[in-house]
Amino acid sequence: MKTFTQKYIGLLALVITISSSANAQQCTSVGANEDWCFNMSTSQGFYWTSNIIIDGEQLEYNDIIGVFMVDSSGDNICVAWSHAEYIVNGFTIFANGNDFITLSTEDYPDEGDIPFFLIYDSSSGNIVQLNEINIPPYSNNSFLMLDEISIITTYGCSNPEASNYNIQANVDDGSCTFAPEILLTPPPIEFTNGETVTLMSRQDLWDYGVIYDADNSLEELTFTLSINPDEINLVWDGGINSNPTVSAVSDFIGTTEIQLCISDNESTVCASNIIIVYENAPEEEIVHELNNPCTSLSDYNSILLDLNPIQSRGFVEGWNMFGFPCKEPRSASETFSDILNDVFIIKNNDGIFYWPEFGYDGIGELIPLEGYQANFYNSVGDFIFCDYSIVFPDVNIEGCTDCDALNYNPFANSDDGSCVLNQHQIGDYIQGGIVFYVDETGEHGLVAAEVDLPEMYPWGCSGNVISGADGLLIGTGLQNTLDIVFGCSESPIAASMALEHEHNGYSDWYLPSFDELMEMFNTIGNAGPNGNVGSFQEDWYISSSEFENDPTNVWGNNFSETFPNPGGGHKSIPNNIRLIRSF
């Protein structure tokens, strides 16, 4: 009997033999159509077990022990293989690790990773999975002890993505079948009560990649559509090229669901879509004006939250599809932690999966807007993927929050009292019109509409003196206008149309006094320093100022000249009207 020292020397000799054989890729054939290949790494660990027995028979030299990991794409990758050579009263299984030097070893086990073993049984030609053994985590330059391995061959489907997956199977017998898949969930179906909506046919769903089945043709699949008949009328004969139609029952308004189920001979997969029925026209999409210079960062954040509400949905028992709606990546384990007992498996479009029952997470983080498939043990309702739609940094930015100030800071969410009020300039376009007068503070003044009233109107009440409507100075135009409407019952006249006028979002327009009319002519009319920026016609314009104690004439000015040409205009003759307002 060999002593422990003799055994250790024997193992050391084996290590030296393995290490010295490091060269190019090493491959071996396992069965007729499969090869196991690996690249030797400078990082190696060793597992030792006293015996490996399959169906009562000890492994022989022609049997091959393979060590595997799952790579970043979800595929099995061989990190080592060796013949089942019984040395020093046991079997030594070596495994290459990630040495962080050789690019080809990047998917090999790091310290603490747990590989899995496959055995090629040369006598039967089977590849046997060692499912029920406790494998210690990989460690470089270490000998890791395994219990004696004794397994009984169990045939079945060993692919966890198959609908007939057998968790007990350790030899795949090629019997795996795969459930039909619904790959996309269309947007909600929206219509008004009284409308009929046409849906996609079975052939359309297949051609556009909405549905798929790896085992069956479209003709071999069974389709069913389910709705609540008290809410929705469904018309469909089930034909491959037949388009279902839906309409609301006469008194139904609200939200409901339509469910599509696809079945093959062994499994069924279902997905639901939302139906929204409106009483009249559907509510308009939320529209936010984003080009307003007064929109602050806080306003933008509020708009984004309005446009991105927290998402929730339900899942049916069996296969489902979902798009991850959160705005930040989130781990699959954290996302589904509250319903973990209901989750069988989650997989992405690359076939990489999260399998909580066995603690395997190949997905890691769920990516915003990417699609996933999920298989549930039980149905789940009103599931919320995340308790936020957008995460904003919690910061306090001080500054001027008054949009009318010269130093307005759109990023500030806390006013620090530093605002410097805007000093308006002649010709500026603000508050619905063109600035033509600014008072001594620079904060207030008068603006003129950029266009005339669409029609000419008379001043009105010719032959009558209107009490109070003879103010000439800047600042008297509004009172003149009010006095005219109060003292003159004729309609329509210039003053009444001014008070009724709405323009550029403002409804407080009025007729200019004589001095206000002349100020327009001298600043934004033909006599202005920059010419006729107010786009006045070369014609006569009237003011709200009546000649003092004159029942017939009012003050006006000819805007066709480049110098002032004031005079009287008859109350009964329609004239051009340019309205003003104060700010």
Q: Summarize the confidence of residues 82-106 as an average pLDDT.
A: 88
The DSSP bridge partners found for residue 149 are: 52
The pLDDT of residue 311 is 62
DSSP 8-state symbol, 334:
H
The pLDDT of residue 303 is 66
Positive or negative: CA dihedral 469, 471, 475, 477: positive
pLDDT higher than 50, residue 266: yes
Tokens (6 digits) for 526: 């033909």
Region of poorest pLDDT, from 421-425, 526-530, 537-541: 421-425
The DSSP bridge partners found for residue 116 are: 68
Residue 111 to residue 580: CA distance in whole angstroms: 80
Residue 215 to residue 368: CA distance in whole angstroms: 31
Query: What CA–CA distances, in Å, run from 305 to 323, 346, 389?
Result: 19, 28, 7
The pLDDT of residue 520 is 93
DSSP characters over 470-484: T--STT-HHHHHHHH
The pLDDT of residue 184 is 66
The pLDDT of residue 5 is 36
The pLDDT of residue 443 is 77
Residue 216 to residue 208: CA distance in whole angstroms: 17
Q: Summarize the confidence of residues 195-202 as an average pLDDT.
A: 90
Question: Of 546, 537, 541, nearest to 481 (Cα)?
Answer: 546
Residue 44 to residue 39: CA distance in whole angstroms: 12
Q: Summarize the confidence of residues 281-301 as an average pLDDT.
A: 58
Question: Of 201, 191, 212, nearest to 274 (Cα)?
Answer: 191
pLDDT digits (tens, 9 = 90+) for 14-65: 443 444 344 468 999 997 778 999 999 999 999 999 999 999 999 999 999 9
Tokens (6 digits) for 367: 């990516």
Length of the chain: 583
Strands (E), 459-552: 540-546
pLDDT digits (tens, 9 = 90+) for 353-393: 899 988 889 999 998 878 888 899 999 888 888 776 555 55
pLDDT higher than 90, residue 434: yes
Question: Of 31, 54, 255, nearest to 122 (Cα)?
Answer: 31
pTM of the model: 0.39
